Structure 1
Amino acid sequence: MHEPAWHLPSSSPDTPPTPNPTSGALHDRPGGPAHEVVFTADFASTRQWVAGRSWAYPGGGPTNPGDDKLDHLVPDDDYCRGGTFRATRRPDGRWNTGLLTTEGSAEGFVARAGDVLEARVRLPREIGAWPAIWTWRDGDQEIDVFEYHPDNPDLLELSNHVRDTGHYYRHRSVRPGAWVDLRVEFGARSVVWWVNGDRAFADRRGVGRGWHAHLIVNLSVCAGRYHPPPDEGTEEMAYEVASLVVRRPSDAELRR
């Protein structure tokens, strides 16, 4: 998860989460291909997810100061396994942070070109919080389903680092503490983001037909280069992921 080249300088109602869809098919648009659920996140599953390390961090972690992060990744279940991703201040100035990834897990799930990821998240309130859902493989293949910084309270960062493009999406429904529904179509020719049912951005560049990558869900903490660090009185922060599913078209549909 990197700060995008199109970085912006810094500048809530409680809606209950909807049920997590776990099976069945959908048609993304009239006449479009049917997608079947191929992955339903169970954050408590040690077969689906590895906690507290990622090769997206130098050496697999636990720190990544070069990306302007105060993170110190921890495998503690309380920081991620319940779907609430937490960060707490450490005496050394860093923050213990929660991260889950499918990379290196027993199931080793990877998203593929053509997949559709849907998630429901509750944004954090604390300045310095940096939540994200993103993809990663072999030092690359990064698509940011979303990134958020409460100092830009109405803005989501939507990024395709595979093809170096992205978008700042602003909307009044995006605010600290709000529930947000996200949907991303990992198209070979265009990655398309939807926010709360509205089409937010289509990059018209895509990921290419052979793209595949692992999933990462985490809460980072800003060090201050691009966004302000946490206030001195802040000792902990969190954001929630109520559901995350990945749907996939059939091989026959992909060949069309």
Structure 2
Amino acid sequence: MRPSGAEPPGRDGPAVFVADFGSEAQWVAGRSWAYPDGGPVNPGDNKLDHLVADPAYSRSGVFRATPRPDGNWDAGLLTTEGSDEGFMVRTGDVLEARVRLPEEIGAWPAIWTWRDGGNEIDVFEYHPDNPDLLELSNHVREAHRYHRDPAVRPGGWVELTVEFGARSVVWWIDGTRVFADRRGVGRRWAAYLIVNLSVCAGRYHPAPGPEVSEMSFEVAHLRVHRPGWGGSGGSGGLGRSGTGGAGRAGGAGGGG
């Protein structure tokens, strides 16, 4: 265990995955087996999402949502599950991401993992009605932290680092360690990445008001390091070896 405030790990290790959100080989847009039947909707998880493959909703790294006439919201989602490269994060990997948080009430951004009906780690979730709070969760072995931070605010930028340890998943926010769950993911864990902007339906967090015509959050970069791996970087084939196929359990999922 590293002392609180220690420098995040992995920066000197090779980047085995560098996100290119415009790459159809890396990412599938607008569907995910974390949603029932792969989507496009998931009302059972208190979401107004209607997932769309339109590149304007995700492929630039700006994840958007706009209202539909039926009361749902067209929403952007990208996942590595089902892509040609099929990248998966694994035990021991370190993920780094820089994100701009949304401002609109009802927005629900997340970076998370999923495979075979579970294997979910929430790198972060955010709701602007709790303006200074990030939700950090390990659903593999059930550990959670509501982290309040004056640097966390609607429209603000946050640097996230997560180490997916076998015995402890550790989160850093803007370079400071804020949570070590002491539960971990186990030695053989692997899961696909999901980045998306959901829209709250109002049960746990307020739904968007009628005046809201668009919401967005941005991911400036997302990288995965694999300490001890001796390759020269890359993404796809590393994700496939030694794991099962794409999970189709279609549970509630959704980063929450």
Give the TM-score normalised by the residue count of structure 2: 0.85
Of 146, 156, 159, which residue of structure 2 is paired with 1:178? 156
Q: Does 1:74 align with 2:74?
A: no
For 2:56, give the aligned amino acid.
Answer: D
Query: Pairwise mapping of residues 10-159 of structure 1 onto structure 2 (< 5 A)?
Result: 35-159=13-137
| Structure 1 residues 119-154: Cα deviation after superposition (integer angstroms, max 9, x where no partner) | 000000000000000000011000000000000000
Higher relative contact order (CA 8 A, sep 6+): 2
Equivalent residue, structure 2, for 1:161: 139
Q: SS of the counterpart of 1:59? A: helix
Distance 1:155 1:48 in 2: 30
The structure-2 alpha-carbon separation of the partners of 1:85 and 1:195, relative to structure 1 and needing over 3 Å to count, comes to: same
The structure-2 alpha-carbon separation of the partners of 1:236 and 1:161, relative to structure 1 and needing over 3 Å to count, comes to: same
Distance 1:40 1:33 in 2: 13
Give the Å deviation of 1:35: 2.2
Equivalent residue, structure 1, for 2:185: 207
Q: SS of the counterpart of 2:158? A: strand
Q: Unaligned regions of 5+ residues in structure 1, if any?
A: 1-26
| Structure 1 residues 135-188: Cα deviation after superposition (integer angstroms, max 9, x where no partner) | 000110000000000000000000000001110000100000000000000000
Aligned 8 A contact 2:15 2:226 in 1 = yes
Q: SS of the counterpart of 1:118? A: strand
Equivalent residue, structure 1, for 2:245: none
Aligned 8 A contact 1:128 1:227 in 2 = yes
Q: Percent identity, aligned pairs only?
A: 71
For 1:45, give the aligned amino acid.
Answer: S
How many residues get paired? 224
Aligned 8 A contact 1:34 1:250 in 2 = no
Equivalent residue, structure 2, for 1:193: 171
The structure-2 alpha-carbon separation of the partners of 1:128 and 1:247, relative to structure 1 and needing over 3 Å to count, comes to: same
Distance 2:93 2:154 in 1: 29
Equivalent residue, structure 1, for 2:220: 242
The structure-2 alpha-carbon separation of the partners of 1:161 and 1:125, relative to structure 1 and needing over 3 Å to count, comes to: same
Q: SS of the counterpart of 1:66? A: helix
Distance 1:250 1:178 in 2: 33
Give the ranges of 4+ consecutive aligned residues of structure 1 lying more than 3 Å apart after TM superposition. none
Q: SS of the counterpart of 2:14? A: strand
Distance 2:103 2:20 in 1: 25
For 1:134, give the aligned amino acid.
Answer: W
Give the Å deviation of 1:90: 0.3
Aligned 8 A contact 1:28 1:34 in 2 = no
Aligned 8 A contact 2:91 2:187 in 1 = yes
Give the TM-score normalised by the residue count of structure 1: 0.85
Q: Unaligned regions of 5+ residues in structure 2, if any?
A: 1-6, 231-256
